[in-house]
Structure 1
Amino acid sequence: MQDMNNTARQIVGSPEHYLDDTSLFTQAWAAMKAARGQGFDPARLRAAHLIDRPEPAPEPTDQTLARVGAKVRALIAEKNIPVQHRNAA
């Protein structure tokens, strides 16, 4: 029983991983409610209770950091902003 509750908690905690089968999310939600002794009406569970599918990252983080760093350095050079060259932590 505890294993079933842990699985249900995992599904309910990250519904974006289970959007292809929303009935699995509904069953997990019902199992968690039943474990608490609460009733559950699946007709009341609307799309607003589910999370939209996350969009993929536009580019890897390393590329984003390099691009933003280059842009900041270009703006600093363009506006002749004095920069103190200290080693950052």
Structure 2
Amino acid sequence: MQDMNNTARQIVGSPEHYLDDTSLFTQAWAAMKAARGQGFDPARLRAAHLIDHPEPAPEPTDQTLARVGAKVRALIAEKNIPLHRRNAA
């Protein structure tokens, strides 16, 4: 039983490898749900479950640096950490 759950977990974890045979993915999904004691309606399984969603667009570097800098300054102020100021010549 444990071996079947591991196989199902591998299939569900990488659906892009099983797009040619979606019934295999559906059976693996059903096996995982059954192992948890949950019901499963295959009619509710959509293509979105088979395809990885794209990563969110990266934040522009300037915004990232400003956000991180503000967070660091806030943490320094909150913890009263003394700063050693080194001014450039």
TM-score (norm 2): 0.58
Number of aligned residue pairs: give it.
89
**Could you tell me how far apart the structure 2 residues matched to 1:39 and 1:77 are?**
52
Unaligned 5+ residue runs, structure 2? none
C-alpha change, 1:54 and 1:86, in structure 2 (3 Å) is farther
1:50 shift after superposition: 1.0
Structure 1: runs of 5 or more not aligned: none
Give the ranges of 4+ consecutive aligned residues of structure 1 lying more than 4 Å apart after TM superposition.
Answer: 52-89
CA contact (8 A) 1:19 1:53 kept: no
For structure 1, which segment, 78-87 or 49-58, has the greater mean C-alpha deviation from structure 2 after superposition?
78-87
Q: CA deviation at 1:71?
A: 35
Three-state SS of the structure 1 residue aligned to 2:77 is helix
Aligned counterparts of 2:16 and 2:59: Cα–Cα separation in 1: 20
Which digits, 9 at most, give the CA deviation of each residue in 1:41-87, with x for residues without a partner? 00000111111699999999999999999999999999999999999
TM-score after normalising by structure 1 = 0.58
Shift in CA distance, 73/41, structure 1 to aligned 2, threshold 3 Å: closer
Q: Which residue of 2 aligns with 1:26?
A: 26
Q: Distance in 2 between matches of 1:17 and 1:48?
A: 15
Bigger CA drift: 6-15 or 59-68?
Answer: 59-68
